[in-house]
Amino acid sequence: MKGFQRCLTLLLLMLLSGCALFQEVGTADMVIHDGHQDMVTTIKDHVEKTEELYDTIVIAAEDQILVSYKVHHLNRFKMKSIEKKLEKWLQEKYPDKTVDLSSDYKIFLESHKLMTKWKNNEVTKEEAEKKLDKIVKLKNEMT
């Protein structure tokens, strides 16, 4: 009987700790260079109005924008059209910036890690730019 209770307790702990990984982030942003906050706020507001998306991270560097996001499950069939629409809007609004969009969960996690380290002052501006370049390179390798 004690063995059964231990197994049940262990199973319950694993289940609860696994659910903690899937908490929603909401819309978050990170600005590496000063003067880009207005741009990031505009992008954030636009993405928040897009009903198909949730948990979005916007990272802006000097001439680069990375938007990583999650798509609601029922809208996954429309992912390409959602991405095209968002990319078109970003290119029209910011033609002088390099825009990267990703709905890949790995890219989202890496963006979230970078954003968290930035907010906790654990990385410098140069380190953040290098990490952003690595994330974009990873994104491009995956496609």
Residue 70 belongs to a domain: yes
Segment 113-140, tens digit of pLDDT = 999 999 999 999 999 999 999 999 999 8
Work out the angle at residue 114's Cα, subtended by the Cα atoms of residues 108 and 117, and round it to the nearest 5 degrees. 140
Is 7 inside a domain boundary?
Answer: no
Report the alpha-carbon distance of residue 44 to residue 41 in Å, rounded: 5
Say if 18 falls within a structural domain.
no
Task: Please report which confidence band the pLDDT of residue 51 belongs to, taking 50, 70 and 90 as the band edges.
Answer: confident
As for how many domains the chain has, the answer is 1
Determine the structural domain holding residue 36 and report its residue range: 24-142
Inside any domain, residue 8: no
Residue 19 lies in a domain: no
- Residue 2 lies inside a defined structural domain of this protein: no
In a domain, 5, yes or no: no
Of the CA atoms within 13 Å of residue 2, those in its CB half-sphere come to: 0
